[in-house]
Chains A and B, each alone.
Chain A
Amino acid sequence: MSVAWTDLIIEISYMIATALFILSLKWLSSPTTARRGVFAGEAGMLLAIAGTLLHHGIVDYKWIAIALVLGTVIGIPLGRVHMTAVPQRTALSHAFGALCVTLVGTAEFYLRAPNVSKFMMGVLSMEVILGSLTLTGSLMAAGKLQEVLPQRPITYKGQNVVNLSLLGIAIIIAVMLVLDPSKMYLYPLIVVIPLIFGVMMIIPIGGADMPTVISLLNSYAGLAAAAMGFVLESKLLIVAGALDGASGFILSVNMSKAMNRSFTNVLFGAFGQEQAAAGGKEEAKPVRSATAEESAAILAAANKVVIVPGYGMAVSQAQHKVRELHDALNKRGVDVKFGIHPVAGRMPGHMNVLLAEADIPYDKLLDMDEINGDFQQTDVALIIGANDVTNPAARSDASSPIYGMPILDVDKARTVMVIKRGMSAGFAGIENPLYHLDRTLMLFGDAKGFVGNIVRELTRGGHS
């Protein structure tokens, strides 16, 4: 086949792949068509790779084949992780994506320098800077989520100054390279400095901020890939990168809104600031606690129950027990819904995935805005391992660090039950006045065990 024909075929395969990618995301917008979206994505991917393999510049297939097989071998276990490990898996995959982009960028630089146009050098620097900071940033995030690294935010004085100057230096060096690409000795710096910056950026971040951070890293990874698309002059890559960048961007805007952080605050990675723990004064206030038997009786007598899951449910793997509770209550004619805060858990949509894993129909899972109006007619709000997202101080106490953050109005329900291991503060390190309300019952214990006990009481049928 002549070169012109092959080029045409490659071009067409890329165009179809691009269209398939966009369709893939479009179908993902509804759970009924979402799986079709995955197939479209897969088809587009296969087509694009097949097209690329026709590329006439390729002289050796042996290593490509080995690398593809090796990547598949690594990828399969990564696709089979437990659902609770999805957040760290996602962070890890951002790191892989960023690694790929950074390596290609580096190779391209050394192949082309010093004959690089200003535009090319600009996008290449952007690709490499974003790629390398996403690489270490994501590895740090994955480490924190996997609890290999300490989850508590580590802060020190002048942290922002250090971080911003690191980023500033990297950008200045990039500009110098753009102005004069022959200064090749500068190149390693725009890899190494962002690598350090990535680590420094994640150090001050605590678990509760993870949904925002993961979305942000997702966006960076996408932008890096789009920049790579400009370097390689591949429209397909620009589109895929832009899609990824846009989705990460939208998610981080959503997340920061849900936490009442300004978006610029998030963009500069300067979050985790107001996390200084302010506990210590809560011991004196009384709380009411209840046993599983008592709570089962209350639940059985209710008409409307809203379950509010949080990270605690994920930690204790309680989602299957929660499903049993849902079934047991449904059998007694109790209306059960789930109220899900956008930042519950450790990544966007984390709770939905866990509850779906436990076979809870998705039309029972309601977003914060959909459920909040319902709490006034709700008999029991059952909170399982969530804390800050239910803290009424966010509405009423202007001095609270989370003041202004939208919360689930669980305190409007007639009875509030909170399953919690102890009285310790949530991730933001602040006291939750909800626990001291007269209508609140504290159910101390492990989420899985406690829900299990309630289910046992309910199915024994002693109450109604």
Chain B
Amino acid sequence: MLAAFIGFEVIRRVSPLLHTPLMSLTNALDAIAVVGAIILAGEHKTTLATILGIIAIVSATSNIVGGFIITDRMLKMFKSSGAKKA
């Protein structure tokens, strides 16, 4: 709850300028769900659980990698006019 509140406050301060990177970054962070999938796939409790876990790892990892790459690419493009002249 506390985290949600802090998150709320922090996110509200993100300017509309960066809303697209915000979304792609939170998406990448969201893929932390991969930790659950890793345990599931690694525990080998049932075949079903292992298979579902493996597919889940693949989809979450693609989000992590893709999400961070594209967020960084977007942010690299944002330059202020001051920085450009320098």
A: residues with CB less than 8 A from B are 17-18, 21-22, 24-26, 28-32, 34-35, 37-38, 41-42, 44-45, 48-49, 51-53, 55, 57-61, 63-64, 66-68, 70-72, 74-81, 83, 86, 89-90, 93-94, 96-97, 99-101, 103-104, 106-108, 110-111, 214-215, 218, 221-222, 225, 228, 232, 234, 236-248, 250-251, 254, 340, 342, 347-350, 352-353, 356-357, 359, 361-365, 367
- A89-B70, A353-B74, A357-B77 known; A244 vs B30 contact (CB < 8 Å): yes
Closest to A25 in B: B10
- Kindly identify, within residues 16 to 40 of chain B, every residue whose CB is under 8 Å from any CB belonging to chain A: 16-40
Q: A97-B33, A232-B39 are in contact. List 16 more A-B contacts (CB 8 A).
A: A22-B10, A28-B18, A52-B38, A57-B39, A57-B42, A63-B42, A72-B65, A80-B69, A93-B27, A237-B35, A240-B33, A241-B33, A247-B23, A248-B23, A357-B74, A363-B82
Residues in chain B near residue A349, CB distance under 8 A = 16-23
Pick the 9 closest A-B CB pairs, nearest first.
A71-B61, A79-B69, A75-B65, A58-B42, A349-B19, A78-B66, A361-B81, A349-B20, A67-B57
Contact with A along B48-63 (1 / 0, CB 8 A): 1110111111111111
B: residues with CB less than 8 A from A are 3-4, 6-8, 10-46, 48-50, 52-84
- A34-B78, A67-B61, A352-B16 known; A94 vs B27 contact (CB < 8 Å): yes
**Are A246 and B7 closer than 8 Å at their CB atoms?**
yes
**Are B68 and A96 closer than 8 Å at their CB atoms?**
no
Give the docked Cα–Cα distance between A42 and B21 (Å).
14
Q: Say how far B81's CB is from chain A's closest CB, in angstroms.
A: 4
**Are A24 and B25 closer than 8 Å at their CB atoms?**
yes
Q: List 19 A-B contacts (CB under 8 A).
A: A55-B42, A60-B42, A74-B62, A75-B62, A79-B73, A100-B34, A103-B55, A107-B48, A111-B45, A215-B23, A242-B3, A243-B3, A247-B14, A348-B22, A349-B19, A352-B18, A353-B21, A356-B74, A361-B79
Give the docked Cα–Cα distance between A241 and B11 (Å).
14
**Are A89 and B18 closer than 8 Å at their CB atoms?**
no
Q: Say how far B53's CB is from chain A's closest CB, in angstroms.
A: 6
**Are A71 and B60 closer than 8 Å at their CB atoms?**
yes
**Are A93 and B10 closer than 8 Å at their CB atoms?**
no
Residues in chain A near residue B84, CB distance under 8 A = 359, 361
Give the docked Cα–Cα distance between A238 and B68 (Å).
20
Closest to B73 in A: A79
**Are B26 and A243 closer than 8 Å at their CB atoms?**
yes
**Are A232 and B36 closer than 8 Å at their CB atoms?**
yes
**Are B75 and A35 closer than 8 Å at their CB atoms?**
yes
**Are B26 and A25 closer than 8 Å at their CB atoms?**
yes
**Are B32 and A45 closer than 8 Å at their CB atoms?**
yes
**Are A222 and B74 closer than 8 Å at their CB atoms?**
no
Residues in chain B near residue A110, CB distance under 8 A = 46, 48-49
Residues in chain A near residue B39, CB distance under 8 A = 52, 55, 57-58, 232
Give the docked Cα–Cα distance between A104 and B54 (Å).
10
Interface residue from A63, A71, A76, A364 paired with B59 (Cβ < 8 Å): A71
**Are A240 and B46 closer than 8 Å at their CB atoms?**
no
Give the docked Cα–Cα distance between A29 and B26 (Å).
13
Q: Say how far A241's CB is from chain B's closest CB, in angstroms.
A: 6
**Are B62 and A71 closer than 8 Å at their CB atoms?**
yes
Interface residue from A58, A97, A357 paired with B38 (Cβ < 8 Å): A58
Residues in chain B near residue A239, CB distance under 8 A = 3-4, 7
**Are B59 and A99 closer than 8 Å at their CB atoms?**
yes
Q: Say how far B72's CB is from chain A's closest CB, in angstroms.
A: 5
Q: Say how far A344's CB is from chain B's closest CB, in angstroms.
A: 10
Give the docked Cα–Cα distance between A68 and B59 (Å).
9
Residues in chain A near residue B21, CB distance under 8 A = 28, 34, 349, 353
Closest to A65 in B: B57
**Are A78 and B62 closer than 8 Å at their CB atoms?**
yes
**Are A240 and B30 closer than 8 Å at their CB atoms?**
yes
Interface residue from B19, B64, B66 paired with A348 (Cβ < 8 Å): B19
**Are B79 and A237 closer than 8 Å at their CB atoms?**
no
**Are A64 and B62 closer than 8 Å at their CB atoms?**
no
**Are B25 and A41 closer than 8 Å at their CB atoms?**
yes
Give the docked Cα–Cα distance between A362 and B21 (Å).
14
**Are A24 and B23 closer than 8 Å at their CB atoms?**
no
**Are A107 and B40 closer than 8 Å at their CB atoms?**
yes
- A67-B58, A97-B59 known; A218 vs B26 contact (CB < 8 Å): yes
Interface residue from A64, A79, A101, A353 paired with B41 (Cβ < 8 Å): A64
